[in-house]
Structure 1
Amino acid sequence: MQHWLDLFIEQIKETTWLQWLAVALGVTEVLLARVNNIWLYPAGILGTAISIFLLMEVHLYAESILNGYYIVMSFYGWIYWIKKRDEPPVKITYSTKNEWVISLAISIIGWVVFYYLIKNLPAKYFTPSNVPGWDALVSSTAWAGMWLLARRKMENWIFLNISNFFAVPLLFYKKLPLFAMLTIFLFMVAIWGYFEWAKKLKAEGLKLKA
């Protein structure tokens, strides 16, 4: 236990100011999202852009691509919020059998595609990754979770937390301890989100029966 604690402290001491800034912006985004504040989007976009740079430095290419997608969706969400913020949100529901199949397909096919791309990235432009399978798994399951989140499906939290679960040791291994701690925080947020959505879904069901 002492060994792991010493290793963590050593990694924290080596953490750059960019990592601190990216994580601070990530926490800010989550807190602003909690109170439904539109400034969550600029905070998220800036934090994610910094994250891409840092992830590329440690050769986590699939996670870099995933974060690029986060930026695109953040801009989309920002515009959508401004145009349609007064419209009612999509209702929370459980995934259908077909949506489960699609989610698993995104995870499995996404893993294969990411793994292939990472393994075959031109060495002329990129340093080869030493964790292609792990990197691909974290990103493909997150992609499935984001697809379900966009559709307001309960199971989005399951896929996102599978991604978070495998991301934590990967980020520690790549000496990004603050990113790992942020992911642990997001893991807990996802657990809270699942039960919060379940409560809303149950209340909605009772309302329909009344």
Structure 2
Amino acid sequence: MNIFKIIEISSVVSGLLYVVLIMRQNIWCWLFGIVSSALYILSCIHAKLYLEGGLNFYYVAVGFYGWFLWLQKNRGTGDKTFKVSEWRVFLHITNILVCILLSIVLGKVEQYYTDSPRPFFDAAITVFSFSATILEARKILSAWIYWFVINGASIVLMIDRGMNGYAILSAVTTALCVKGYFDWRKGYWAQGI
């Protein structure tokens, strides 16, 4: 087994732990997300998925942000829980349009300046993932819907690049997004919002 397979397996296991823990709104999810993303950076560079690699630098940073935010929000409330909230439709429409525009621009940049075989696909997954990660850190319920679509699309990209472990992780996390959404929605509704 080569070093990149070991890195891939370690990243996949950490990534699964991250998803299971975030579904449960357990703050330790962020530690596993940081580890998974740090390892994934190496795999992406090896597979020439440069924007995916760059995205995971961002995931590491947002992992620390999410951990800090959840820690602070939990300390700041009397019942020790950071509540799930939701965006209005207008904010989602604006977010999606901005993400599409940025995906086109970033895809063009990657097309001209890298040897990426799927620059626009890579760009769209990257840009929407940036957005969904912030939604997730801020406990916006619909982050799970974004992730469902992103992870589903990632299956295709990972298979295309021969990263089968990550394709399996994307398939599993796509399915887990459904459970995560309903778990968070139950908590959101219980708040009487």
Is the counterpart of residue 108 in structure 1 residue 97 in structure 2?
no
CA shift, 1:170, in A, is: 1.0
SS in 2 for 1:86: helix
- What do you get for the CA RMSD once the two structures are aligned? 2.7
Counterparts of 1:31 and 1:148, CA distance in 2: 17
Question: Which residues of 2 match residues 116-131 of structure 1 at below 5 A?
Answer: 116-121=108-113, 128-131=115-118
Is the counterpart of residue 29 in structure 1 residue 18 in structure 2?
yes
Task: Pick one of 7, 29, 54 that aligns with 1:18.
Answer: 7
Q: Contact between 1:107 and 1:143, CA under 8 Å: does it hold in 2?
A: no
Question: Which residues of 2 match residues 183-198 of structure 1 at below 5 A?
Answer: 183-198=170-185
CA shift, 1:117, in A, is: 2.4
Is the counterpart of residue 68 in structure 1 residue 44 in structure 2?
no
Q: Contact between 1:106 and 1:140, CA under 8 Å: does it hold in 2?
A: no
Counterparts of 2:189 and 2:18, CA distance in 1: 28
CA shift, 1:24, in A, is: 1.6
**Larger CA deviation: 146-155 vs 164-173:** 146-155
Pair 1:142–1:53, CA change in 2 (3 A): same
Paired-residue identity, %: 25
> TM-score scaled to structure 2, two decimals?
0.83
Q: Contact between 2:70 and 2:82, CA under 8 Å: does it hold in 1?
A: no
> TM-score scaled to structure 1, two decimals?
0.77
Counterparts of 1:38 and 1:154, CA distance in 2: 16
Name the residue aligned to 2:142: 155
Q: Contact between 1:93 and 1:153, CA under 8 Å: does it hold in 2?
A: yes
CA shift, 1:84, in A, is: 4.6
Pair 1:38–1:151, CA change in 2 (3 A): closer
- May I ask how many residue pairs the two structures share in their alignment? 190
Unaligned 5+ segments in structure 2 are none
- Point out the structure with max Rg over C-alpha: 1
SS in 2 for 1:120: helix
Counterparts of 1:139 and 1:70, CA distance in 2: 11
| 2:87 maps to amino acid | S
Task: Pick one of 125, 129, 152 that aligns with 1:138.
Answer: 125
Counterparts of 1:79 and 1:108, CA distance in 2: 29
CA shift, 1:167, in A, is: 0.4
Name the residue aligned to 1:179: 166
Pair 1:82–1:162, CA change in 2 (3 A): closer
Q: Contact between 2:74 and 2:82, CA under 8 Å: does it hold in 1?
A: no
